[in-house]
Amino acid sequence: MTNPLLEQTTLPAFSAIKPEHILVAVEQQIQEDRKYLEQILKQVKQPTWDNMIAPLAEQADKLSKLFSPVSHLNAVVSNDQLREQHDACLPILADYYSEVGQNRALYDAYLEVAKDAQLTATQQRIIEDETLGFRLAGVSLNEAEQGRFREIKSRLSELGSLFSNHVLDATMAWSKHFTDKSPLKGLPVSAIATAEQAAKEKHQQGYLLTLDIPCYMAVMTYADDSSLRQEMYRAHCTRASDQAPEAQGEWNNTPIIRETLALRHEMAGLLGYASYADYSLAMKMADDPAQVLDFLDKLADLSINKASAELEELTVFAHQLDQIEALNPWDVAYYSEKLREKKYDISEEELRPWFPEDQVLKGLFEITSRLYKVSFKERDEVDKWHKHVRFFDIFNEQGTQLGSFYLDLYARSHKRGGAWMDSCRDRSRRSQGELQLPVAYLTCNFTSPVGDKPALFTHDEVVTLFHEFGHGLHHLMTEIDEIQVSGINGVAWDAVELPSQFMENFCYEKESLLLIARHVETKEPLSDEVLERLNAARQFQAAMQMLRQLEFSLFDFKIHLDYQAENDNQFAEILKSVREKVAVIQPPSWNRFENGFSHIFAGGYAAGYYSYKWAEVLSADVWCFFEEQKTPEQGIFNDNSGQRFLKTILSQGGSKKAMELFIDFRGREPSVEPLLVQQGITANP
Q: Which residues pair with 390 in a beta bridge?
A: 407
468 carries an active-site annotation: yes
Q: How far is CA 508 from CA 471, 473, 650, in A?
A: 19, 19, 21
Taking the alpha carbons at both ends of the chain, their separation in whole angstroms is 69
Q: Would you say the C-alpha torsion 482, 487, 488, 492 has a positive or negative sign?
A: positive
Residue 222: which residues within 8 A CB-CB, separation 6 or more? 186, 187, 188, 191, 334, 337, 349
Q: Would you say the C-alpha torsion 568, 571, 576, 577 has a positive or negative sign?
A: positive
State the Cα–Cα distance between residues 12 and 66, nearest whole angstrom.
8
The 10 Å CB-count burial string (b at 16+, else e) for 178-198 is beeeebbebbbebbbbbbbeb
Q: Which alpha helices (DSSP H) does 271-345 contain, by range?
A: 276-281, 289-322, 329-344
Q: How far is CA 556 from CA 268, 494, 621, 654, in A?
A: 16, 14, 25, 25
State the Cα–Cα distance between residues 241 and 244, nearest whole angstrom.
5
Q: Strand, coil or helix: what is 203?
A: coil
Cα 180 off chain centre by: 37
Q: What is the 3-state secondary structure (H, E, C) of 74-124?
A: HHHCCCHHHHHHHHHHHHHHHHHHHHHHCCHHHHHHHHHHCCCCCCCHHHH
Q: Which of 145, 238, 274, 95 has its CA nearest to residue 594?
A: 238
Q: How far is CA 157 from CA 87, 161, 293, 319, 424, in A?
A: 9, 7, 28, 48, 20
Q: Are 403 and 27 in contact (CB under 8 A)?
A: no
DSSP codes joined into one string, 400-458? -EEEEEEEEEE--TTS-SS-EEEEEE--EE-TTSPEEPPEEEEEEEEPPP-TTSPPB--
Q: Given 196, 357, 468, 497, which residue is catalytic?
A: 468
The residue type found at 221 is T
Q: Are 359 and 516 in contact (CB under 8 A)?
A: yes
Q: Which of 140, 138, 223, 233 has its CA nearest to residue 178?
A: 223
Q: Which residues are catalytic?
A: 468
